Amino acid sequence: MEAVRLTGPLHSHLLRPKQPDFTSLNLSGTHNKKNIHPFKPFIAATVSKPAAEISSKRPSFSSSSSSSSSAAAVTIRQNDASESSLAPPPPRLVVSPDSLKYPSGYLGAVPDRTVADGSNGIIDAMGYLTNILASKAYDVAIESPLQFAPKLSEKLGVKVWLKREDLQPVFSFKLRGAYNMMAKLPKEKLDRGVVCSSAGNHAQGVALAAKRLNCDAVIVMPVTTPEIKWQSVERLGATVVLVGDSYDEAQAYAKKRCEEEDRTFIPPFDHPDVIAGQGTVGMEIVRQIQSPLHAIFVPVGGGGLIAGVAAYVKRVSPQVKIIGVEPSDANAMALSLHHGERVLLDKVGGFADGVAVKEVGEETFHICKELIDGVVLVSRDAICASIKNMYEEKRNILEPAGALALAGAEAYCKYYGLKGENVVAITSGANMNFDKLRIVTELANVGRKQEAVLATVLPEEPGSFKSFCELVGPMNITEFKYRYNSDKGAVVLYSVGVHTASELEAMQERMEYSQLKTYNLTESDLVKDHLRYLMGGRTDVQNEVLCRFVFPERPGALMKFLDVFSPRWNISLFHYRGQGETGANVLVGIQVPSMEMEEFHVRAKGLGYDFVVVNQDTDFRLLMH
């Protein structure tokens, strides 16, 4: 089979039309297919590059392939020789995940394909197509079933299909790409062994591939990796090395060891053979679906899966939308598409750890920029709701990244009022850390809009609590927190079960009519993660700096923190909230005089833990002061 080639201009019929008909925002909530001016997402001031400055220039792609069997797998079209040899690569744009926001379900980050379209193509579509068709992934992977979801379909008014990649031998799609790349390596490279860095599913895919190919594999994982994950890799016969607190540290060690031992590095997503292996998922969907298909929803981390699916589906069924789904706090692909170049996130949310990457792949970004239709962003609550929906539908529990595409499909269908269409969501993995189930059960009903978190200010007088309960009326109170507050108004924090939005609105109107100020805190992660457990500790602390830190889940993390700040300053508050992730959310109060704030920030940054100061958070001031 001829190798994938990226040289030569593409003919326009190999890719999408120059002006594809995107679904645009209709303020009435209906699914509007007219090519009207789309809704402009909120872009926070922290974005350092406006949308108007989107670059039309493609950076050169440097392949990390060690395979000589696929004619080097990729032929690179070089830029002007003098430019590529003399000019250093431009610095990566660093942005915050919070800098790009738009409503849940809205199809945003639509790629700009109006510049040099058809003459500066990113991929040879036929080359990827033939490599996907010839993929060796089926030596280890199964053709996963495409299952109809009757309960979700009835609820949403569309036909929802689940592409069950969570049923693969390692409970994830990752083995497809890993095996496809490794199986193409020449024997002398396999004999020298392979190495990869991963916190979970890719590690298991490489380990299984190595076992099948009788190849020695070293898997480098952060020391924060849950025991269940690295033990699963060891059981497959690979050598596990735990290094560093973060994935970046583990990857740096893996590449160093790769050079020292002359092993082949197996990347998790940014390689043509890996992309082609993942593309077999799209090939199967096209073959399995019997009716016209509106869209395929794909979870996005580094972009290997969505690039592979798009490379196949857009070649054979260009009318099908390929929609990426990312967590709103791990939206590297959406921000890269928005800026027209790969960006680096300054921090990344770890709840959906399978897609928690700070930077998407170079080749995967080029493919996505050419072929996908946009990205839907969803919240942690929505992911938890979809995990519950999947359990009720099929009695299977997905990991957060595995439920991501389903959450995006649900949000998209609701946002646009889609009816009667066929949509596919790829359920990409089921390697759930059991400890994480606690937070999933707490937030699932919030994500389903079946529970609301509220705060109401009551007068501190006899009978006020009884009057409050009467105003709540028939709604079920699922949680209630209150502590006496001297002669001030008492703030009660509570949750109620919700059947309809109008029911909640009616209750809030009753409260306001009775002069009881009520706040809806359902969207506040600070409240749900920390403040709901601290009610009763209301006080004013002099010079208190309130921060949210992410502690690595490993022995010694707390002592490292204390060595930096104590006894230099007094710690006035500490609340740890484990969520079964590689990092734990910790709310910390530290008494720092204003003249010492510069020193505090230097120490906090030097600690190496992600943190944010939340002193001015309105929810904290409401509940704790």
Distance CA 327, CA 353 (A): 10
- So what's the pLDDT on residue 539? 64
pLDDT of residue 310: 96
Would strands 217-221 and 477-481 be described as parallel, antiparallel, or unpaired? unpaired
229: its two tokens? 């994950």
Phi, psi of 296 (to 5 degrees): -115, 125
CATH 3.30.420.40 is the classification of domain 449-624: no
| Spans of all domains in the chain | 117-169+273-443, 194-262, 449-624
Smallest Cα–Cα separation from 295: which of 443, 424, 198? 424
- Output the pLDDT for position 526: 81
Scanning 289-395, the segments in alpha helix (DSSP H) are: 304-316, 332-339, 362-371, 380-394
Token pair in block for residue 391: 């359990």
Spatial separation of the C-alpha atoms in residues 507 and 513, rounded to whole Å? 10
pLDDT for the residue 617: 77
Contact 74, 4 (CB under 8 A): yes
Query: Are 117-169+273-443 and 194-262 equal in CATH topology?
Result: yes
Burial class (CB in 10 A: 0-12, 13-18, 19+), 625: exposed
What distance in Å separates the CA atoms of residue 149 and residue 126, rounded to the nearest whole number?
Answer: 33
Query: Residue 281: helix, strand or coil by DSSP?
Result: helix
Instruction: Specify whether the CB–CB gap between 615 and 546 falls below 8 A.
Output: yes
At residue 406, the pLDDT reads 97
Cα–Cα distance measured from residue 370 to residue 112, given in angstroms and rounded to the nearest whole number: 9
Average pLDDT of 590-599? 92
Closest CA relative to residue 186, chosen from 278, 72, 75: 72
CB 277 within 8 A of CB 180: yes
CATH of region 194-262, choose from 3.40.50.1100, 3.40.50.2000, 1.20.140.10, 3.40.1550.20? 3.40.50.1100
The tens digit of pLDDT for each residue in 486-521 reads: 656 778 888 888 888 888 888 888 988 888 889 898
Cross-strand bridge partners of residue 551: 584
Question: 274 with 177: CB under 8 angstroms?
Answer: yes
So which residues are the catalytic ones? 174, 428
Judge whether residue 536 has pLDDT over 50: yes
Q: Give the model's pLDDT for residue 472.
A: 86
At 569, give phi and psi (nearest 5°): -135, 160
What would the two tokens of residue 525 be? Answer: 């992660």
- CATH classification code of 117-169+273-443: 3.40.50.1100
In this prediction, residues 63-67 reach a mean pLDDT of: 37
* Phi then psi dihedrals of residue 233, to 5 deg: -70, -45
Strand bridging mode 544-552 / 570-577: unpaired
Q: Determine the pLDDT at residue 483.
A: 67
Q: What count of residues does the chain have? A: 625
Between 232-236, 380-384, 615-619, the lowest mean confidence (pLDDT) is in: 615-619
pLDDT(127) > 90: no
List Cβ neighbours of 342 (8 Å cut-off, separation of 6 or more): 59, 92, 336, 359, 360, 362, 365
Three-state SS for 114-179 is CCCCCCCCCCCHHHHHHHHHCCCHHHCCCCCCEEECHHHHHHHCCEEEEEEHHHCCCCECHHHHHH
Confidence of residue 535 (pLDDT cuts 50, 70, 90): low
Give the chain's mean pLDDT: 81
pLDDT at position 620, please?
Answer: 74
Eight-class DSSP state of 352: T
Q: How far apart are CA 173 and CA 270, in angstroms?
A: 15
* CA–CA distance, 110 with 118 (Å, rounded to integer): 18
Q: What is the pLDDT of residue 87?
A: 59
Question: Per-residue pLDDT for 56 more than 50?
Answer: no
Q: Are 12 and 142 in contact (CB under 8 A)?
A: no
- Tell me the per-residue pLDDT of 278-321, one tens digit each, with 9 for 90 and over: 999 999 999 999 899 999 999 999 999 999 999 999 999 999 99
The CA distance from 181 to 188, in Å, is: 15
What average pLDDT does this structure show over 453-476? 83
pLDDT per residue as tens digits for the range 194-219 = 999 987 889 999 999 999 999 999 99
Four-point Cα dihedral 403, 407, 410, 415, nearest 10: -170
Buried b or exposed e, range 70-89, using 16+ CB within 10 angstroms: bebbbbebeeeeeeeeeeee
Which of 160, 40, 34 lies closest to 412 in space, CA to CA? Answer: 160
CA distance 577 to 532: 11
**Nearest C-alpha neighbor of 443 from the set 413, 472, 407:** 407
Residues 6+ apart with CB under 8 A from 500: none
Which segment, 135-139, 479-483, 547-551, is predicted with the most confidence on average? 135-139
Q: Which residue has the higher pLDDT, 470 or 155?
A: 155
